[in-house]
C-alpha cells in the first residue's frame, strides 16, 4: 500500500514522556498519540482478512495492529493513553519507559495470568508499573477497551536474544515474539507506525497529536 506520514496536530494537553533506559535490548522505540478514537467492531474487510489468516477479531484498534503485523511483518502494540501513569506527578503526562524489570516484579498480562519477572526481562512500563512484556505480550491494566478514547501506538525494535529468553522462560510464545526473535530492522519501525495510523484514522477516526516520538540513540545505516 502507498503510505505517507500523517502530520500530527500540535497539542500541549496530549503529551507523552518517552524514556529509553536500555538501548541494547531496545535499539529503537517509536510512539504516536491519537485522541478522539472510537473503539468499535472492525469493518467487514478487516475482520475477514484476520479470520482468513487465523486470528480472531477483537476491536478495530487491536485488529489494525494485528493486520499491519501480518501485512508488514512487524508487530505493533497499542496502549490506552489515559491508563498510563506519569513519571512526574507534577507534570502529569503519561510516560512510556523501556527498562529492565525489577527483581520479582509482578506483571499481569493480557492472558489474565500473573508473571514474576527479573532483570533479564525487558518491559515497557509507565511511570509506575510494567505495562507490557517487551515484544511478547501487553498488559491487562493498560489494554484497549470500550472506554478508550486515546491511544499510544508502539512500533519498536528489540534484541532477538532478549525476546527469545523471555518467551522461553515464561512459556509465552506469541505472534509478536515469533517475529522479534528472528530480527527486525529498526528502520521499519516508523514505516509500520505510519501504516497503522492510516488505518486507525480510517476505522476509528480521531486525530494524530504531535510528531512521532522516536528514541533511537544509535541509528544504523541502511
Q: What is the pLDDT of residues 154-166, one digit of tens each?
A: 999 999 999 999 9
* Residue 21, SS3 per DSSP: coil
Rounded Cα–Cα distance for residues 193 and 68 (Å) = 9
Cα-flanking dihedrals φ and ψ of residue 23, to 5°? -75, -10
Residues 6+ apart with CB under 8 A from 221: none
Of all residues in the chain, the percent with pLDDT exceeding 70 is 100
Residue 116's CB is within 10 A of a number of other CB atoms, namely 12
Q: What is the pLDDT of residues 48-64, one digit of tens each?
A: 999 999 999 999 999 99
- pTM for the structure as a whole: 0.96
CA atoms within a 13 Å half-sphere pointing along the CA-CB vector of 198: 13
pLDDT score for 222 = 76
Q: What is the pLDDT of residues 129-144, one digit of tens each?
A: 999 999 999 999 999 9
Cα-flanking dihedrals φ and ψ of residue 100, to 5°? -75, 145
Amino acid at each position: 500500500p502507498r503510505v505517507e506520514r500523517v502530520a500530527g496536530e500540535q497539542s500541549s494537553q496530549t503529551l507523552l514522556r518517552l524514556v529509553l533506559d536500555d538501548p541494547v535490548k531496545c535499539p529503537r522505540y517509536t510512539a504516536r498519540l491519537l485522541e478522539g478514537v472510537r473503539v468499535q467492531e472492525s469493518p467487514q474487510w478487516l475482520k475477514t482478512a484476520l479470520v482468513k489468516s487465523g486470528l480472531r477479531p477483537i476491536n478495530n484498534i487491536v485488529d489494525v495492529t494485528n493486520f499491519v503485523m501480518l501485512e508488514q511483518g512487524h508487530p505493533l502494540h497499542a496502549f490506552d493513553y489515559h491508563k498510563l501513569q506519569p513519571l512526574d506527578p507534577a507534570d502529569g503526562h503519561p510516560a512510556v519507559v523501556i527498562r529492565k524489570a525489577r527483581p520479582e516484579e509482578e506483571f499481569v498480562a493480557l492472558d489474565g495470568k500473573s508473571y514474576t519477572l527479573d532483570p533479564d526481562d525487558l518491559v515497557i512500563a509507565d511511570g509506575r508499573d510494567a505495562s507490557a512484556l517487551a515484544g511478547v505480550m501487553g498488559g491487562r491494566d493498560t489494554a484497549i477497551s470500550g472506554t478508550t478514547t486515546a491511544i499510544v501506538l508502539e512500533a519498536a525494535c528489540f534484541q532477538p536474544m532478549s525476546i527469545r529468553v523471555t518467551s522461553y522462560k515464561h512459556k509465552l510464545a506469541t505472534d509478536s515474539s515469533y517475529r522479534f526473535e528472528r530480527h527486525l530492522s529498526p528502520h521499519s519501525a516508523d514505516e509500520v507506525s505510519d501504516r497503522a495510523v492510516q488505518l486507525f484514522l480510517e476505522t476509528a477516526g480521531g486525530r494524530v497529536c504531535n510528531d512521532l516520538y522516536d528514541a533511537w540513540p544509535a541509528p544504523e545505516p541502511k
